[in-house]
Amino acid sequence: MSLKKIIAQIRKNRNFLVTAHVSLEGDALGSELAFYHLVKKLGKNAVVVNEDGLPYGYDFLPHADKIVKYKDNLKNINFDCFVAVDCSDLKRTGEVWRLNKCRKPVINIDHHISNDHFGTYNWIVPHASSACELVYRLYKAMKVPLDPESALCLYTGILCDTGSFRYTNTSAFTHKIAADLLRYNIKPLEIYKNVFGNYPLSDVKLIAKILSNIQTDPKGKLVWFEAGKELLKKYKKIYADLSDQVLTFGRQVKGVEVVVLFKENLGPKSEVHVNFRSEGKVDVNEIAKTFVGGGHRAASGCTIPGRLEEIKKKVLRKIEEKL
């Protein structure tokens, strides 16, 4: 059993490099920090390295201040086991995988069905709600007691990846875990506000502007939004990842099957980030894959080089074929 092999590796090694995917969000952060905390509780050493810095709103997470950015001076980094959580492939770590020059064993803990088993030791559970659900199981299997810090990390990841216990990945087991975690001084509303709120006014205005330009196909099965360069530049500070809120807003349209958000890259590159959500009928992982992206059946994304108008046409046509 893969969980047993992973536990053996954790017990065997002393120094861990822990990472998660680029575009850090609640589950990536929660699972890497909960893993870090687990290793520390075992009296071992660990360092968390990410391609990006901490995204806006997540500084409440325990150990968030200890995250090291890949670009920082990492010459003297020393580890004997490389751990990737919530990554479907090694490239999802950004450049962080390059730190494993000496080809140390790689632990791969993930819940993406598209995971390519890049690890030396792989533990992939596609029906799990989140990577945090798996790290929770790790605590239990290793009999490492939970505490307020680990519970806060794990709860946050589950909250984010289940959209507050409402997405189809939410199971009875997910709620059982939440019930267990709530025994450790978890304040759901505070965490919810940290993660899904507390945005600068300019961000909230930007979201409202994007929403007000909601577009649909004639049947109302396909809903899309766009955030062009000009709009994004007009509102200077963009801390928050707006995608989730915009997509969620579109999902409340009666009869909708797929919601898409097109976001122009603000950098010099002419490219568009595309996020997909499906209500179940259409496999948006398949659609993202045709544009060299990926994700899950119900939530996926990709980045497509080119101009917004052309990309929009291409992507929407692809979805309409499946509707």
- Closer CB to its own copies, residue 109 or residue 178? 178
- Nearest residue to 20 (alpha-carbon basis) of 52, 62, 65: 52
In the window 203-262, what residues touch its own copies (CB under 8 A)? 204-205, 207-209, 211-214, 216, 220, 249-254
Question: Is residue 172 a contact point for its own copies (CB under 8 A)?
Answer: yes
Shortest reach from residue 241's CB to its own copies, in Å = 13
Identified binder of its own copies from the candidate list 183, 233, 234, 307, rule CB under 8 A: 183
Shortest reach from residue 296's CB to its own copies, in Å = 13
Question: Is residue 182 a contact point for its own copies (CB under 8 A)?
Answer: yes
What's the rounded Cα separation, in Å, for the pair 249 and 261?
Answer: 11
Instruction: Determine the interface stretch with its own copies among 117-125, 160-168, 227-235, 309-317 (rule: CB under 8 A).
Output: 160-168
Greatest alpha-carbon span in the chain: 60
Question: Is residue 58 a contact point for its own copies (CB under 8 A)?
Answer: no
CA angle 72, 111, 194 (to 5 degrees): 60
Instruction: Determine the interface stretch with its own copies among 68-76, 195-203, 258-266, 299-307 (rule: CB under 8 A).
Output: 195-203
What's the rounded Cα separation, in Å, for the pair 210 and 193?
Answer: 21
Question: Is residue 192 a contact point for its own copies (CB under 8 A)?
Answer: yes
Is the four-CA dihedral 62, 65, 66, 72 of positive or negative sign? Answer: positive
Helix axes 131-141, 26-41, angle to 10 degrees: 20
Phi, psi of 304 (to 5 degrees): -120, 125
Instruction: Determine the interface stretch with its own copies among 45-53, 140-148, 172-180, 307-315 (rule: CB under 8 A).
Output: 172-180
**Which x/- pattern, by CB under 8 A, does the window 117-156 give for its own copies?**
----------------------------------------
Question: Is residue 173 a contact point for its own copies (CB under 8 A)?
Answer: yes
The answer for residues whose C-beta is within 8 angstroms of residue 142's C-beta and 6 or more apart is: 7, 10, 38, 42
Is 37 exposed, middle or buried, given 0-12, 13-18 or 19+ CB atoms closer than 10 A? buried
Instruction: Determine the interface stretch with its own copies among 3-11, 21-29, 133-141, 170-178 (rule: CB under 8 A).
Output: 170-178
Whether residue 268 contacts residue 303, with contact meaning beta carbons closer than 8 Å, is answered with: no
What are the residues binding its own copies (CB under 8 A)? 164-168, 170-176, 178-180, 182-183, 187-189, 192-193, 196-201, 204-205, 207-209, 211-214, 216, 220, 249-254
